[in-house]
Structures are given as structure tokens and as C-alpha cells.
Amino acid sequence: MEKEICKISIANNWLGDEYIFYENNTIKRVYDHHSLSSNKTEWVTPKEISKQSKDKLVRSCPEEFKEQIMQILDYP
């Protein structure tokens, strides 16, 4: 199992939306689709993450991981 770098939540309401970044540059997303479908998990690539979500992830990222997370996200 790859080592986790950090978890970043970008939930903006009562539905969860959390991204977990790993050292092998993989990203796992854990989110609530709706109130009856919670904690869905999927592996995502940077191309599958919207610019708006990338902006939120970078803004919410702890400073010590920001550069590494920006590289994983292929963020400008």
C-alpha cells in the first residue's frame, strides 16, 4: 500500500467530498453522491478533476504539501 501524503476535504455542504493523495501520484476520492449513497470511493486522475475542484484542493491544502499536491494535480 502506498504511503498517504494528505487528505483534503472540499465539501461545501452536508455531502462529503474528500481527496486522498498518495506518494505514487495516485488520488482517491471519497464522496457522498446523495444522502442515501454515502462514502463512495473511486480512484481519479488529474484529468478527471475539474479546474474548480483543483482550485479548491490547492487552496485547502496544508502549506507543507502544497507543492507536491500541485505537481500531482498537474496544476499550473
Find the domain containing 64 and state its range: 4-73
How many distinct structural domains can be found in the chain? 1
CA pair distance 55, 33, nearest whole angstrom: 21
Element (H, E) at 2: none
Cell (9 digits) for 26: 495516485
Give the pLDDT score at 2. Answer: 87
pLDDT digits (tens, 9 = 90+) for 19-58: 999 999 999 999 998 777 788 999 999 999 999 999 999 9
Note whether 10 and 53 are within 8 A (CB).
yes
Alpha helices in 2-73 (DSSP H): 51-60, 66-73
